[in-house]
Structures are given as structure tokens and as C-alpha cells.
Structure 1
Amino acid sequence: MQQQNWFLIPNEESIETPSLVFYIERIEENIKTLKAMVDDVERLRPHVKTHKCLEITNILIAEGINKFKCATIAEAEMLGIAKAKDVLLAYQPVGENINRFLKLQKAYSETIFSCLIDDLGIVKQLSEKANAANIIVDVYIDLNVGMNRTGMLPDLATELFKGLIALPNLNVKGLHAYDGHIHDSSMDVRVQKSEPIIEQLLALKQSFENISNTKLRIIAGGTPTFPIYAQQTDFDCSPGTFVLWDKGYQDAYPEQKFHTAALVLSRIVSKPANGLICTDLGHKAVAAEKELKNRVFFINAPNLEVNSQSEEHLVLKTENADDFNIGDVLYGLPYHVCPTVALHEKAVCIDANKPIQYWDIISRKRKITI
């Protein structure tokens, strides 16, 4: 695969800005790299929150990946449309989303859907509604292993598990743990922090299997700890960012040899003062949750520094303003690609020697049909 100037788009003058751009060859290479990092492709359960795209889902399925993880009902429906075999909604459904989750199962019967749970009250509601709908719901107990975002503390999970197995129309499939608090650049530190989590999960799994006399699965980790769980356990693994990669992970995790495969295309729209240039890459086109300097890196102009950003504008500082003209194209690598993708309705898709395609970011919406 060509590395030098891989990002350049033929006939770039015809592409509107700001635009999200996917590089299909690099996406396909990333999927092959992922598969090579694990001993069994059946252990892969990639998270689709990064790409939210039906066409990328179809590429993953064509590569033999049959299990997926998602965060919203719309993402789950996208996976149902793709006829994915096994889909985990990595979120505890509450309120109307319980009804939507059950509707998914009836609408997309070729897909087995499951969800996370961590509260007995919600579990009882789910059981009652599943019973009324004559549906068996697969569930995973969500464990808080240190991130303090969702899940229950492992020491409290036994009581929930015993309550679960006594309720009708629920099928406990296993345990889920997301360790997003482990994001150290040092692999040694990530290994050190992961080891007690692995021990804790295995002990709890064994205890629950003894109680229920059923075999359970563990789903654990995200991108930073994926190599650890892939090599040291038999857990299902759920990286997501690998498929597109970004500047943040490229800098933090050099041991993971994925290619950056998504950029944001921008143009210079003004030169408002000495040493300043303004582009059309505002908050609405690239994720803005990080500090200014860690939002986007321009591959074809690496010395540009972010000065300010607003809804529709990104102002950059440079000592070489004369090198840039209004209308020049800048190729931006996002520091955080997942929320950046969600800002765009479509992606411009570049594939070698093929016409440019446009793929919908279909599950950026909160609702597709259900």
C-alpha cells in the first residue's frame, strides 16, 4: 500500500468542505491487522461506535467477524440491517429504550441481540416486558472495574446474578467489563493495571458458573487493552477505533500497527491577520472535546498550530502565511475520530482506481426506524 501522500484525493477540487473522508484500502488493512492479533476471530466483538457505517459493517462481516458491540439502538438496528449474527447493546436499556430493544428482536430475527444490565429494578422491568412479548432476552452483567461510569461493583454482583437467574425470559450470557480508565501509553503499565481485573473477572465467572451450572462468557476491554486481553485471556475483545485509527491513539499506542484511515478535509477560507489563516473546520466538523492543540493535525501542513475554534471556523497560526492561499485544501487527522465521524452525514470514500463513493453514517442518528 502506498504510504507517501496516501491521503491525496484525485480531483480534490470537486470535494466540498468540510468533509469526512474514508480510505477503504486502509480500513481493509486494519481489519486484517486486527484479525492477526487474536488467536480466534470468534473472540472479536468490535464496537461500531467508531464508524457508525453500514458499508464498513459489511466489510467486517465479509472478513468473518460475526459479533459486534454498540452503544445505541440505532447502531444496533444498523447491525440488524447488516444481518450481523450477534449484537451486544453495551448499554442498560431504560424507559422507552426497553421497548425499542424488544422491537429490534422482532424486526431483525436473524440477529441475536443482548444488552447490559446492572440494576435489579431494571432487570425486573426487562423480564416483565420480555415475558409479555414472548421474547427471551440475553443479558450480560456490567461490572465497574475502575472506570466509575456504568456497571456495578464486582463485590455486589453475586446478589444480582442470583436474582437474574430466578426471573423468566432472561438468559444470562456472561460478564462485561469496560476498562476505559486504563489508557496509559506504557504497555507495561497497562499490563500491570489489567492483571488484577483479569483475576477478578475469572474468579467471578467461576463463582457464577458454580451457582448456575452454566458456561458464561467474558467481554472485556477496549482499544488500549485489546492486545493484553487478546494474548493473555480467552475473553471476547471489543476494540473500536482500530478500524479508522486517529492521531490520539497513533501517538499513545505505537505498538498497535493500525493505519489512520479517516481524515477531515478542510479549505482555507480567510487570512484575517498577519500569521493567521482560517479554515472551515469548526466544532461541527471535528470533535472539540479535547484542548485546542489536540483536536486535529494537518498531515500536509504539520507546522500549523490551532489558535481558536468556533462552530464553523478553525483559526490557525503560522510563521509562513505566505505559503498558504485562500482555497488551499488541508487534510486533517482527528485526534478523536469516533465523535468526529458522528458529526457527518456522509463520508467521501476513496478506493484505489475506483470512482469516489459516498457512504451514509447511518447510525449517527438516534433513530433509524425503531
Structure 2
Amino acid sequence: MMQETPWYQITDVDTLDSPALVVFPDRVRQNVDRLITAIDDPSRLRPHVKTHKSREATQLMLAAGIRKFKCATIAEAEMLAMVGAPDVLLAYQPVGAKQQRLIELIETYSDTAFSCLVDNLTTAQQLSERAVGAGVTVPVYIDLNVGMNRTGTAPDDTVLTLYTDLSQLPGVRPVGLHAYDGHIRNPDLAERTAVCDAAFAPVQQLADTLAARGFDQPVIVAGGSPTFPIHARRQDVECSPGTFIYWDYGYGTTLAEQPFLHAALVITRVISRPDATKLCLDLGHKSIAAESDLEHRVKFLNAPDLRPVGQSEEHLVVEAGPGHGFEIGDVLYGLPNHICPTCALYERAHTIENGRVTGEWRTIARDRLIYH
């Protein structure tokens, strides 16, 4: 009986130098389709592009009918505008030169509606001055701190005052509330839901109060990948998962209820055998996201028992055990624990279709500036 070829195996892998990032467009398309079927209305989807940072992945979502996007950098916002994304939220409070760069995007890409976050009046006033000087109006969302404790203002009555103050500033226009709850990632969906609901309750209350005071119903942009299935069940809430596009070992393990496929890997090779039980791979800090513990940075699909024991800039040493049988030059297919920062380490991702290398997707928005 013939053994089925693993989905990830590349028949012409010898044409790829390593380390290399590879993506599987057919699986990416399936992930986009699965995202759309996981929500009642695709217009409530606002995927984050920080994971892939590429025009091609964005174009697949546009082709599937997704029209709203979220990003974290000016380069990501420009990349979205370059491929004709109609609605782009810069989910970051622009400060200093970033304000001017945002306004320049608004002036340059008139077919894209840009918006951004603010969490205080002073920054909003600075943005207002620049916007008035350019003759544009910037829609803004108030960034709420619902537990991440990195940006945003507490979801209390001070938000009502800030929203009112923003409505009176020229050059800016308050349109909604932003609540990112990336800290809520309990593996148990019921527990995750309870924590998420508690964090979201004051956000909904603020939106309802603002509407009762005569404002247009504020748009709520909420959540990321871990809480996507929870917010997807709410009415009138825009959801912002990002990792779904490629998925990774971390979320694939902890978010078992989500049906997304692994669609991006790193290719590495055995480059040395330092002793009888260890291998050295060309997969250093510069090639795989290194914020996790050493043992949890990558899982090798075709060698799951390898155990990382040391890593430096260009090298990863793994324990293979006695009599392992690996040879110098052997190819390993690595599933990153965290795909988002891993993608940012590569200027391109090689596309794999029907088991062969077919092209590349440039990780164009990993740079701080995009030069055309």
C-alpha cells in the first residue's frame, strides 16, 4: 500500500536555499473561506494584515469579498491601499511623523478610506492640526484598554467626554471604539468566553450610551484570533483576526475549536552533526520568531521528536538522540510557534502549489517605508 505524500512535502525543495519561508496558496484560500463561513455577515470582518504583510494574501481576501482591513504600521496601510483595499484602519495611535505619513496616504490614495486610533485628547489635537492644514478629515476610533495594559484608555465615563471632545475638533471625526483583547487566550473556550464577555460588557455599554446621547451608533472593532469565535456571535461588531491566514503551531494547539489550516512553514537543513546525538540547523534567531521559550519556537512536521537545545543568530542546535539517522543536507519542514513575527524576518515567501515551487509573495510591508 502506497503511503500518502504529506501535504507539506515539496518535490523540488532542492531549488530552495534555506532557511526559507514557504506558503501554500490553496490552503490560504481555504482559510479565507473558513473565516467567511464562521461569521453571519462578511461585512463584519476586518482582518489584520500583520501576519502576512503581503499584497498577494490581501488580494485573495479582496477576491473573496472582504472589504475592511486592519493594520499596525504605515507600511501595512500603504500596502493595503496599493492593492485597492476600500477601508483601512491603522490600529495604532499615530504620533509625531507618523501623523503626517497617515495624512499623506489619505491624500495619495483617494479610493481608500483610512482611519486610526487615539486614546487621548492631546494627540488628537495634534492630528487635528495636521489634518486641517492638509484639508482632510481623519476618522478616529477611541482605543480602549480592556486588559492588554499597553495602550488605550479605560472603558469608563472618561471615554464619553473624550468622544464628545473629538466630535468638536476640526479635521477628525469619531466613528467608534476599538477593543483589542489579545491577552484572553484560555485554551478552554467556555472559560475564554466568560472572560471575554466580562471585558466586552463596558465597551458595549459605552457604545449604547453614546448612541443614546445622539451620536451615530459607534462602530465597535473588537478582538483578535483567540476571541474571534466569541465576537463573531455578537451583532454589529467588527472582528479582526489575523493569524488565521497562515495559522501556526501556537494557536493550532491552544485554539483547537478553530478550523484553520497550517499554510506557512520554514524550510531548514541539517548543516552539521556536532556530536553523535546532536544536529545543527540553519534556523537561527534571524529565521524564526524567538520570543517563545527555546523548546517552543518551532515544531518539525517530519521530525517531531527533535528537541532544540541551543540557538544563536544563524544556528539552531537540536537533540536527535542516539542512532538518529539524520544526514547533513536533510531537509526539515518547520511549523513556527508564532508565524506573525516569523514572516517579518523574510523578504519573500515562496509559493508552493501541487508540491512544487511556483513563485513568491514579497513580504513588502515588513519594511517601515515602501518605495515604489
TM-score computed with the length of structure 2 as normaliser:
0.97
Task: Output one character per residue of 1:109-140: Cα deviation in whole Å (capped at 9) or x when no partner.
Answer: 11000000001100001111101100011100
Correspondences of 1:294-313 after superposition (within 5 Å): 294-313=296-315
- Among residues 262, 265, 278, which one is paired with 2:264 in the alignment? 262
Q: Provide the rounded CA distance (Å) in 1 between the counterparts of 2:201 and 2:221.
A: 14
Unaligned runs of 5+ in 2: none
Q: Deviations over 1:4-53 (max 9, x none)?
A: 50001121111100000001111000000000100000000000000001
Provide the secondary structure at the position in 1 that maps to 2:274.
strand
Counterpart of 1:104, as a letter, is: L
Q: Which residue of 1 aligns with 2:360?
A: 358
Counterpart check, 1:85 vs 2:93: no
Cα RMSD over matched residues?
Answer: 1.4
Residue 137 of structure 1 contacts residue 169 of structure 1 at CA under 8 Å; is this kept in 2? yes
* Map 1:203-218 → 2, pairs under 5 A: 203-218=205-220
Q: Cα distance, 1:234 vs. partner?
A: 2.6
Deviations 1:47-66 (A, max 9, x none): 00000010000000000000
What residue in structure 2 maps to residue 36 of structure 1? Answer: 37
Could you tell me which residue of structure 2 aligns to residue 72 of structure 1? Answer: 73
Contact 2:270 2:282 in 1 (8 A): yes
Q: How many residues align?
A: 369
Partner-residue secondary structure (3-state), 1:315: strand
What letter is aligned with 1:96?
A
Distance in 2 between residues matched to 1:348 and 1:133, nearest whole Å:
41
- Aligned mates of 1:355, 1:143 — CA distance in 2: 44
Question: Aligned partners of 1:369 and 1:167: how far apart in 2?
Answer: 33
- The runs of at least 4 aligned residues of structure 1 exceeding 3 Å deviation read none
In structure 2, the partner of 1:147 is: 148
**What does residue 351 of structure 2 align with?**
349
- Does residue 107 (structure 1) correspond to residue 108 (structure 2)? The answer is yes
Q: Secondary structure at the match of 2:233?
A: helix
Does the CA-based 8 Å contact 2:12-2:357 persist in structure 1?
A: no
- 134-143 or 321-330: which moved more? 321-330
Cα distance in 1 for partners of 2:356, 2:235 equals 41
CA shift for structure 1 position 320: 4.3
Give the superposition deviation at 1:213.
2.9
Distance 1:174-1:138 versus aligned 2 partners, 3 A rule: same
Aligned match of 2:131: 130
Q: Distance in 1 between matches of 2:164 and 2:26?
A: 48
Identity rate of aligned residues, in percent?
A: 48
Structure 1, unpaired ranges of 5+ = none
Indicate how the Cα distance of structure 1 residues 354 and 305 shifts in structure 2: closer, same or farther if over 3 A, else same.
closer
Identify if the C-alpha distance between structure 1 residues 97 and 134 changes in structure 2 by more than 3 Å, giving closer, same or farther. Answer: same
Equivalence map 1:14-29=2 (5 Å): 14-29=15-30
Shift of 1:344: 0.2
Aligned to 1:61, the other structure's residue is in SS state: helix
Q: Distance in 2 between matches of 1:320 and 1:141?
A: 57
Q: Distance in 2 between matches of 1:23 and 1:79?
A: 21
Partners of 1:44 and 1:368 in 2: how far apart? 26
Moved more, 54-63 or 198-207: 198-207
Task: Give the aligned residue type for 1:101.
Answer: L
Q: Over residues 268-294 of structure 1, what are the superposed CA-to-partner deviations in whole Å (9 max), with x where a residue is unaligned?
A: 000001210000000000000000111
**Counterparts in 2 of 1:226 and 1:233: CA distance versus 1, 3 Å:** same
Go from structure 1 to structure 2 and tell me whether the alpha carbon gap of 1:304 and 1:353 turns closer, same or farther (over 3 Å shift). Answer: closer
> 1: CA distance between counterparts of 2:7 and 2:184?
32
Q: Secondary structure at the match of 2:104?
A: helix
One-letter amino acid of the structure 2 residue matched with residue 62 of structure 1? A
Question: Which residue number in structure 2 is paired with residue 157 of structure 1?
Answer: 159
Looking at structure 1, the residues matched to 356 and 85 of structure 2 have their Cα atoms a distance apart, in angstroms, of: 27
Matches of 1:324 and 1:22, distance apart in 2: 25
Note if contact 1:20-1:263 (Cα within 8 Å) is conserved in structure 2.
yes
**CA spacing shift, 1:18–1:320, aligned 2, 3 Å:** same
Alignment-derived partner of residue 281 in structure 1: 283
Aligned partners of 2:81 and 2:4: how far apart in 1?
36
Q: Is the 8 A contact 1:25 1:352 kept in 2?
A: no
Tell me whether 158-167 or 23-32 shows the greater mean CA deviation.
158-167
Once residues 146 and 215 of structure 1 are traced to their aligned partners in structure 2, the CA distance between those partners, rounded to angstroms, is 24
Q: Which residue of 2 aligns with 1:166?
A: 168
* Distance across 1 between alignment mates of 2:50 and 2:4: 27
Contact 2:246 2:263 in 1 (8 A): yes
TM-superposed deviation, 1:148: 0.4
Offset of 1:353 from its aligned partner? 7.3
Deviations 1:159-213 (A, max 9, x none): 2111101111211110000001101101011110011233211110011122343
Match of 1:228 among 204, 216, 230: 230
Q: Which has the higher mean CA deviation after the structures are superposed, 163-172 or 245-254?
A: 163-172
Contact between 1:277 and 1:321, CA under 8 Å: does it hold in 2? no
| Alpha-carbon distance, 1:354 to partner | 7.0
Specify which of 197, 200, 210 is matched with residue 198 of structure 1.
200
Alpha-carbon separation, structure 1, partners of 2:276 and 2:109 = 58
For the Cα contact (< 8 Å) 1:276–1:321, is it kept in 2? no
Residue 187 of structure 1 corresponds to 189
